[in-house]
C-alpha cells in the first residue's frame, strides 16, 4: 500500500541526523507536497507512525518526533544481543526452522568443511523490543557443535560457542550488499518487495582462523541501522 511506503520514507527522514527526538515535523501540506502524495495518504502514514510510537500528534500544535528508530553503535564486534543490551533494549529470537542438512558448496566454503558434511541450518527472526529487525540464516557444523539446540539459538549463538563450547571468537568477516526482498521476506519485515534491504554475509573466526559459523542476514534498514566507529 502507498501509505506504508510513505511511512517508510518518513522513517528515513526522521532517522536522519538533522532531526532529534522532540523536534517538530513540517506541516501536513509541506510534507504532502515534498512527498508528492495526497493529504489523505500522508495522514494514513502519519497514523501508522503514531501507532508505532515514532511520532506524537498534538492537536492544534503539530506532529513531533517521539522516538527515533533503533540505531546500533558498533565500535568492535558485538552480537545482536549485546547490541540491544548496550542500548537498554531487549533482544529476542523466533526460530522459523532448525534442521540438519548436507553442506552445499557455498556453505562448505563458508565453514571450511567438506561438501555434503552435515550442518545445522537455522532460520530465525531477530527482534528488538518485539520489532522484527532482521531475518537470519545460519549454518554451523554438526561435527564441531553436536550439542547445539533450538534453546541455544533462541538465546545467543555466540554465548553458546564461547561459554559452553570454550571456543574463542576473535572476529568476523562481513560482506554487505543491497538487494530486493523476496515476497516472503517483505511480508516478514513489513515492507514492499520494491524496498531495498541490506544483505550481510558473515563468517565468525576462532583463534585458529577457522570459521565457527556462516550466516546471511537480511536487515530492514527502516527499523535497524548500524553506525560504525573504526579506530585509526
The class level of CATH for 70-228 reads: alpha beta
Q: What is the pLDDT of residue 19?
A: 75
Alpha-carbon dihedral sign for residues 103, 104, 108, 113? positive
**The three three-digit cell numbers of residue 213, written as one number:** 559459523
Q: Which H helix or E strand runs over 56?
A: strand 55-58
* Residue 16: partners with Cβ closer than 8 Å, 6 or more residues away: none
CB–CB of 168/159 below 8 Å? no
CATH number corresponding to 2-65: 1.10.10.10
Which helix (DSSP H) or strand (DSSP E) does residue 189 occupy? helix 183-189
Enumerate the domain spans of the chain: 2-65, 70-228
> Any idea how long the chain is?
232
User: pLDDT tens digits for the chain (232 residues)?
Assistant: 688 888 878 887 777 667 778 888 888 888 888 888 898 998 898 888 888 788 888 888 888 887 766 556 556 566 777 777 777 778 889 999 999 999 999 999 999 999 999 999 999 999 888 888 899 999 999 999 999 999 999 988 999 999 999 999 999 999 999 999 999 999 998 888 888 899 999 999 999 999 999 999 998 877 777 777 777 7
- Structure-block grid coordinates of residue 15: 532517522
CA gap 92, 81 in Å, rounded: 8
Amino acid at each position: 500500500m502507498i501509505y506504508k511506503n510513505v511511512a517508510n520514507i518518513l522513517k528515513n527522514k526522521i532517522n536522519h541526523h538533522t532531526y532529534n527526538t522532540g523536534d517538530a515535523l513540517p506541516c501536513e501540506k509541506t510534507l504532502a507536497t515534498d512527498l508528492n502524495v495526497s493529504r489523505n495518504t500522508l495522514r494514513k502514514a502519519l497514523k501508522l507512525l503514531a501507532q508505532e510510537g515514532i511520532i506524537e500528534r498534538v492537536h492544534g500544535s503539530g506532529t513531533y518526533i517521539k522516538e527515533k528508530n533503533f540505531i546500533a553503535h558498533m565500535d568492535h564486534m558485538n552480537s545482536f544481543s549485546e547490541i540491544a543490551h548496550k542500548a537498554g533494549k531487549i533482544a529476542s529470537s523466533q526460530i522459523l526452522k532448525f534442521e540438519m542438512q548436507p553442506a552445499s558448496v557455498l556453505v562448505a566454503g563458508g565453514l571450511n568443511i567438506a561438501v555434503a558434511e552435515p550442518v545445522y541450518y537455522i532460520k530465525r527472526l531477530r527482534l528488538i523490543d518485539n520489532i522484527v529487525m532482521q531475518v537470519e540464516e545460519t549454518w554451523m557444523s554438526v561435527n564441531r557443535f553436536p550439542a547445539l539446540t533450538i534453546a541455544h539459538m533462541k538465546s545467543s549463538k555466540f554465548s553458546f560457542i564461547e561459554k559452553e563450547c570454550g571456543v574463542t571468537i576473535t572476529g568476523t568477516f562481513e560482506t554487505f550488499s543491497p538487494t530486493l526482498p523476496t515476497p516472503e521476506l517483505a511480508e516478514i519485515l513489513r515492507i514492499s518487495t520494491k524496498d531495498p534491504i541490506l544483505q550481510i554475509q558473515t563468517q565468525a573466526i576462532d583463534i585458529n582462523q577457522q570459521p565457527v559459523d556462516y550466516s546471511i542476514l537480511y536487515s530492514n534498514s527502516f527499523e535497524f541501522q548500524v553506525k560504525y566507529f573504526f579506530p585509526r
